[in-house]
Structure 1
Amino acid sequence: MKNNQKKFLTPTLEGDRFKTKSVPVEFLQELSVIQDLIFELAKDIYKKEHPTRSRLPNHFLDGISLRLLDIKKGSSIMELDLDTSEIEALDLSNDTYSYLEKAKNLLIKDLENIDIEDNNSILSKPKYANYFIRIGRHLRPNETMFLNRTGRKKYGKLTNDIRAKVLNRPYVGLTIDKFEIYADVTSIDKKNQTFTISESGLLVSASLALIDIQLLVKSLADVELVTKVLIKGTGKFDSTGRLQVIDRVDEATLIDPYDVHSRIDELMLIKDGWLDGEGKAPNKKGLLKLLTFYDKFVPKTFIKPAIFPRPDGNIQFEWSSSEYEIDAVIDLMDFKSRLHSLNFENEKETIKNFDLSTKVGWKSMNLLINEAL
């Protein structure tokens, strides 16, 4: 073996499929994920051991890669070497090997101790456990992967049952329940096959296999409007009732960015001081009562308003067209509304007051808006 090649890892596959000297191509993809996990863990170990450093050393992982050297008979035994030839060719100084060894050993140790409750285990952290969404995913029943092998000794056993424990490990103590949420899609990660949503200010990631990716792409298509997605499914919740994990998606629907229900949900999350330390939060009971009036007195086909909070704790509806700009300030205590409209062509302004706790008030306001727009 060349000096720039160090024997590093010997993943082993056992089962009827692997008795010949061959490895299904999908498992070669999993080796790449194992490399990504070990490299990420090595970086975090370095940061933990050097808390005063804000950055990794230059070229910390540059020029290092795992390469498949050989596949041995009996079971599919894959010898992986750590190739550092690029480092030597570039004459770079790199002290990464020891951290990669630490990362490998820590991963194998925690995988073997998956049944022991240990909050310090790396597999208690979603960041690392989620790599197993792609590691071991192609194993069939009665098949086993070992992450490493030395002679006859095998380490880091992985089966379908163990993989399920790894994926569930960060979420022990969570309760399972159905949910229906309005959420913003914040990102799609095709490499890791995940998507991330923001729900009540909390980021939640899930597998792309659970949802129609085209729906997610459409929700991100307009950079000016945040298009929400209504998601119904089953997930895991912590003790405060916050959604932590999406296990299943039964239905996902794009929501109109001007959807009144989802916007009211957002306004209910606002807290005092939302405007540069000032600004009163809208009254939640008032918001819910206003929504009841809106559903009762406004036709579903009516032009939806943009809705904004006001510093005094009330809210403002806005409509606009090429000719008009209309806003209605609504008091959330008595539901009195002051509407102001401006005609851009003749600069005519109109100011009207309406009682939005009554059918007559809504009908009169809707008529004025409909005539203008």
Structure 2
Amino acid sequence: MEQLPFLKPRMAGKRFDEHAIPLEMLRDLAILEEMIVEVAKWHYLNDNPARERSPRGFTKGISVKLTTIGEGSAMPDMSLFIDQRQLVAPANQDYFERARDSIVDAIEAADRKTDIRQHLPESLLSYFDRFGRGLREDEYIDFAPEAVGRSAKLNQTTRRALRLASSQLQELTDEVTLRGVIPEADQAKLSFELETLDGQRVAGPIPMQHLDTIRTAFNGYSDGLRVSIQGVARYNRHGQLKSMEEVEHVTILDECDVGARLDELRLLKPGWFDGNIGKSLDSDRLRWLENQLDAHLNDPLPSPYLYPTAEGGVQLEWSIGEYEITFDIDLARQRGHLHALHMQSEEEIELEPDLSNDEGWEAVASMLVELDGE
């Protein structure tokens, strides 16, 4: 078996620090292998127009395998394995390499906003609806990390461009987290409807492992019991949510759930305070805040109460031990002001952290833990 260097992309983002790849991203690599095989077949048929299909055994004796995880964020080192005993496999090596190049060229075209369909047909661009779906907003895969002058980064922006370049793909899928209540559940059909905070209803399937949780949420509908649904959602080409295609996690939320409260703040319109005062809150900045709170101010710290400020910021409030704590966050500047008042002694503690970096958030978390300990 001959092993040849094939592809070594670089995965960038916090989840890929320490050259580690989350297990969920291995699904994307498996889809990439599937895509490479189909693009290789496409190249073969282009070279052999008299044939209607690729020959039997086209992939026998040749495969793409992950061998190591290289240094530098996370770099999955993929090799092409060729069984020299197979007559067809060595001859098909060229098609696999051309397939790799076509995929990378298409990603670069999306990155540079040039014609994507010069490199791949519309039918094969549909693979990008599954490939890269696990990437978060601050992550990307660089398919030409060491090539000077090239830019072939797959992120959520370029992935969307690749999918929209195919007119055959009328619906798109993405990983989502939706929060709301469950007004309807059909145990016979194993389906449910989620009503989001803005009143939209989204249907989805009930996996057997989540049946009890969804039943609990349905029974608690009249009491406003909220859930968080994580999975894969289906959208039309204009970004309108249509349905849940897969449900991976279902979680009952407590009353002070930060994510649900931020969803409510997203719905505020200008003038929400008295008709004239009160700015609406920027959705992207709220998403940043949610990620930071989830990363730094989670269990075992109690969940804060969240309130909007008239200036377009957010105020967090806690009652911890003998302290009443307020934490005002300027979303635009990513600065904060924390004030803790000891209710017995009236001693005051203040902190003004820079929230644009981890050190600022860690200082806030350390203070809260210290106050909780007292």
TM-score (norm 2): 0.43
